[in-house]
């Protein structure tokens, strides 16, 4: 695993679940150096990325630890980040 490509929250989550057999998939955002080629697209789909927007360098997916390892080793993968649900600023939505 190339931990240099993982953001801190994803690295912490991976470390915290290292011995947890139930931790199968991690919601991640994948950033590429350029839009994927046909070969790179095949690699992404084999890793479990179901939707790759055409011409885009950023996508999201739920990936296993093994798939994260595989993608982090690819030179065309720039970064892998833990995906988080965004909340409104200030905690509560105004009515």
Q: What is the pLDDT of residues 65-90, one digit of tens each?
A: 889 999 999 999 999 999 976 666 66
Please name which of 69, 75, 27, 32 lies closest in space to residue 47, comparing C-alpha atoms. 69
Contact 89, 33 (CB under 8 A): no
Range(s) of the domain holding residue 43:
3-12+25-82
Residue 59 lies in a domain: yes
- Res 91 pLDDT > 70: no
At 92, the pLDDT band (50, 70, 90 cuts) reads low
Contact present, 77 and 7 (Cβ < 8 Å):
no
Residue 64 falls within a domain, yes or no?
yes
Residue 93 inside a domain? The answer is: no
Q: How many domains are contained in the chain?
A: 1
Residue 19 has a pLDDT of 73
User: Is 92 part of any domain?
Assistant: no
What integer pLDDT is reported at residue 53 of this predicted model? 82
User: Do the domain assignments include residue 19?
Assistant: no
Convert the pLDDT of each residue in 20-60 to its tens digit. Answer: 655 678 999 999 999 999 999 999 999 989 888 888 999 99
The pTM (predicted TM-score) of the whole model is 0.82
Residue 91 belongs to a domain:
no
CB 57 within 8 A of CB 34: yes
Q: Is residue 87 part of a domain?
A: no
Between the alpha carbon of residue 52 and those of residues 36, 59, 93, the distances in Å are 9, 6, 32
Residue 37 located in a structural domain: yes
């Amino acid at each position: 695993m190339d931990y240099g490509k993982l953001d801190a929250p994803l690295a912490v989550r991976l470390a915290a679940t290292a011995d947890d057999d139930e931790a199968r998939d991690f919601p991640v955002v994948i950033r590429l150096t350029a839009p994927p080629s046909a070969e790179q697209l095949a690699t992404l789909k084999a890793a479990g990325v179901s939707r790759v927007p055409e011409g885009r360098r950023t996508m999201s997916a739920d990936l296993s630890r093994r798939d994260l390892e595989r993608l982090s080793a690819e030179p065309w993968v720039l970064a892998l980040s833990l995906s988080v649900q965004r909340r409104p600023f200030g905690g509560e939505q105004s009515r």
